[in-house]
Structure 1
Amino acid sequence: MTCLRPRRSVLYMPGSNARALEKAKTIAADALILDLEDAVAPDAKELARNQVTAAVKAGGFGRREVVIRVNGAATPWGKDDLVAAALAGPDAILLPKVSSPGDIMLTAMALRDAGAPDHTRIWAMMETPVAILNADSIVRTALDPNSRLAVLVMGTNDIAKETRARLTPGRQSMLAYLSICVAAARAHGVEIVDGVYNDFSNEAGFRAECEQGRDLGMDGKTLIHPNQVALCNEVFAPSETEIAFARKIIDVFDLPENAAKGALQIDGKMVERLHADMARRTVAIADAIAVV
């Protein structure tokens, strides 16, 4: 298995705040979303665009994955954001308000025409009822390498607003939407990160929501405050016990005498070959985290 890129913690940083952009270089998040959209007032959009693209070109973010969230194509800033972001060459561009496969493919075409490097991927915000209903067809575009689609980002605040659902502890109102997008992501080989937790001073509530997202199959979580990073990294990383057992599963299935066996008993547990595949991913992501 090739080395995976950890996306346990994905921190939003306001593009209009120069100090925040500089501080981002020292925060232990796996990925940074330098935001030109929701976190920026209309009269600061151009300033934010200039600051963010300059920061990305200058570099200094280390192994952190750097993503620029642009404004939507229908806004006065969307087209200029996309061109400027393409020329800056971040790891990815986060596209808001995705509603159809065409949004992905048209953005990919625009990035190509603007001269974006091949490594710049597309991340798609899933934040409207239409996006949820079209999740399979949106994510299916990832099967076309020209689409650049790599990651889904859940916009739970916007989903709650658009559906009039209440964001309550346990997120019962969100579970269907989250699970639909996880299924679409896994069906087509795309990563997916959970939405933000708004009450950043509530550590117990934040931990519970991180654990819920992990158990639903999320690869990580978007964050609104640097103080959330450490806990998020902890929850979305495999534990030492999980890593050790994963290595044991791999070692046992790799023995020549077990080459044709579909299931084995390991430490009193019945383990199938599919668990060996899962174990290889656990070890791969643990190795990737160790490098970070």
Structure 2
Amino acid sequence: MSLPYQSYLFVPADNAKLLEKAHQRGADALILDLEDAVLPAGKPEARRGLPEPIDRLHGLGVPVLVRINSGWRDAVADLEAAVRPGVAALVVPKAEDAGALRVLSAMIAEWEAERGLTPGAIGLVALIESPLGLERLSGIAAVPRVAALALGSEDFALTLGVEPTEALLALPCRQIALAAAARGLAAIGLPGSLAEFRDLDAYRAMVAQARAVGMTGALCIHPAQLPVVRDVFSPSAADVAWAGRVVAAWDEAQAAGRGAVQVDGRMVDRPVAERAKAILARRAPTA
């Protein structure tokens, strides 16, 4: 299982006003947040109110994820509310232990069976927010229900007592992208602060760097970030035109029994042709 989305917008699970219009913001997927965005005193009420927006958004065709809490008592209460039809995945904060993820997976399986869901229907997004989580990436990625690895840049920086800058976060992005690719998972995150939404040029550069190292999507906290993520992660017109030429030439070469062909002054073999096909698969429907 992997998540095919590029932009993930956090929405506080207890904010009815934001939830009402969240589907209009243009995110590929919405994360209803039961963790940082909800005060401790408000979590019980947020859980009670969770089924309504999940059902409504699912009915509108919007992919829904839910970020649960990290403490076990809160996490169990969150699962009781969130494991239901219409939820694509649960975002697990402070993921550091593959064993803990397997326990969560087993509990989710019980609710899936009880509520008539397909076994394994609800994935897990392991949110890496500490050096220990980064050190244990391989084991975390191997948990069967894990559908994505994500970088929690703000909390990761907090564990080191520094700012969430490229100097700190570029390497974790690369490591997460590599570990995710090894397992066929989504890799979500940016080498910088998620809070940047005023300087969109700086934000665009950060998203471009994430894509360049193999990240497949970004966590967003403001609607202004969404068009930037969509634009950067979508192939450009030039990319699509190049890919079209490569695939056409490659197909012709294959039909003629050749294993390589020259396109635009560069040699094309199977890996290059496969990359071109992937670009065409990611293009917008109108491209």
Both proteins in one fold, TM over 0.5: yes
Pick one of 19, 24, 28 that aligns with 1:26.
Answer: 24
CA RMSD of aligned residues (A): 2.0
Pick one of 112, 135, 155 that aligns with 2:137.
Answer: 135
TM-score by length of 2: 0.90
**1:194 partner letter:** G
**2:186 partner letter:** E
Pick one of 208, 223, 226 that aligns with 1:226.
Answer: 223
Where relative contact order (Cα < 8 A, 6+ residues apart) is larger, the structure is 1
Cα distance, 1:264–1:234 mapped onto 2, change above 3 Å: same
Shift of residue 263, structure 1, vs aligned partner: 2.6
**How many angstroms apart in 2 are the aligned matches of 1:228 and 1:91?**
22
**How many angstroms apart in 2 are the aligned matches of 1:219 and 1:37?**
24
Find runs of 4+ consecutive structure 1 residues off by over 6 angstroms: none
Structure 1 residue aligned with 2:40 = 42
Pick one of 200, 206, 213 that aligns with 1:216.
Answer: 213
3-state SS, counterpart of residue 162 of structure 2 = coil
Q: Is the 8 A contact 1:65 1:91 kept in 2?
A: yes
**2:218 partner letter:** K
Aligned length: 278
Cα distance, 1:265–1:130 mapped onto 2, change above 3 Å: same
Cα distance, 1:21–1:184 mapped onto 2, change above 3 Å: same
- Asked if 1:239 corresponds to 2:236, the answer is yes
Structure 2 residue aligned with 1:144 = none
Pick one of 56, 59, 70 that aligns with 1:72.
Answer: 70
Cα distance, 1:162–1:244 mapped onto 2, change above 3 Å: same
Structure 2 residue aligned with 1:182 = 177
Segments of structure 1 that go 5 or more residues without pairing to the other structure are 142-146
TM-score by length of 1: 0.88
Shift of residue 193, structure 1, vs aligned partner: 0.9
Shift of residue 175, structure 1, vs aligned partner: 1.6
**How many angstroms apart in 2 are the aligned matches of 1:162 and 1:148?**
27
Q: Map 1:105-116 onto structure 2 (within 5 A).
A: 105-115=102-112
Deviations 1:28-49 (A, max 9, x none): 1111111000111111111222
**How many angstroms apart in 2 are the aligned matches of 1:153 and 1:53?**
25
**How many angstroms apart in 1 are the aligned matches of 2:27 and 2:180?**
22
3-state SS, counterpart of residue 50 of structure 2 = helix
- Asked if 1:101 corresponds to 2:98, the answer is yes
**How many angstroms apart in 2 are the aligned matches of 1:62 and 1:285?**
23
3-state SS, counterpart of residue 29 of structure 1 = coil
**2:175 partner letter:** I
